[in-house]
Amino acid sequence: MEIKETKLKFREGMEKRFKVLEYIVIHHTASTRDMTVQEIHQLHLNQGENWKGIGYHFYIDKQGIIWRGRPEEMSGSHALDYNSVSIGICLSGNFEIEKPTDNQLKSLSELLQYLKQKYGNVQVVGHRDLNATACPGKNLYSKLGSVIANSNTPKDEYVKVFMSNNKLSVVLDNGSKFTFPFTNKEELLRKLSIGLKITK
Ligand SMILES: [Zn+2]
């Protein structure tokens, strides 16, 4: 995973985010045009003196490139009442009417994995879970479950395998035991080559 650095210039007076991170909040631009991170930065600067620059910490364009927005240690400006305890990620698109690209979803999973490794198991939510808004749009919101699942670091699982006369036994981590009878070595190899069906 790569985060493209942007060297954006922010107005003075940004506040630090709280040390404890509670949420990672997912947004969309609500625009079908693939804006650049610099455009969004300018758009937010144009909102007035209170706006210090782009409100999101990360921006993922339609190609799936991850751009740095506001510095990670600074409080963002993306989710009313939650800015000091969250990191904001925005994806390019209006996901009420279009779908996120596969590259965007893949990059989002990778970014979430990186952030969760850095900050611990933070809760990932859609903007609409916190504020009254349609953001990040129904076509992205409905994908968040699988994106979050893909961002979880896989856990090691172990099985124990025993062999006795004409019987192969497999014991899973949770203690469940499965036995597979076979009559000769060829049959065992054939069974192993097609895979052992184990139901937890
Ligand atoms: Zn939003």
pLDDT tens, position by position, 100-146: 999 999 999 999 999 999 998 799 999 999 999 999 999 999 999 99
20, 82 Cβ separation under 8 angstroms: no
Give CA–CA dist 150/157, Å, rounded.
17
Q: What pLDDT is recorded for position 2?
A: 95
Give CA–CA dist 153/69, Å, rounded.
25
55, 88 Cβ separation under 8 angstroms: yes
Task: For 67, list phi and psi in degrees, rounded to 5.
Answer: -110, 145
Q: What pLDDT is recorded for position 154?
A: 66
- Number of Cβ within 10 Å of residue 160's Cβ equals 10
Tokens of 141: 């919101």
Give CA–CA dist 11/165, Å, rounded.
76
Residues at Cβ < 5 Å from ligand 1 ion: 27, 127, 135
Task: For 167, list phi and psi in degrees, rounded to 5.
Answer: -150, 130
The letter for the amino acid at 110 is E
For residue 72, give Cα distances in angstroms to 37, 58, 59, 157, 169.
15, 9, 12, 34, 50
Q: What pLDDT is recorded for position 164?
A: 87
Distance between Cα 30 and ligand 1 center (Å): 9
pTM: 0.78
Distance between Cα 10 and ligand 1 center (Å): 20
Residue ranges covered by each domain of the chain:
3-151, 159-194
Q: What pLDDT is recorded for position 200?
A: 58
List the chain residues with pLDDT less than 50. Answer: none
Distance between Cα 200 and ligand 1 center (Å): 40
Q: CATH: 3.40.80.10, 3.40.50.970, 3.30.300.30, 3.40.640.10. Which one for 3-151?
A: 3.40.80.10
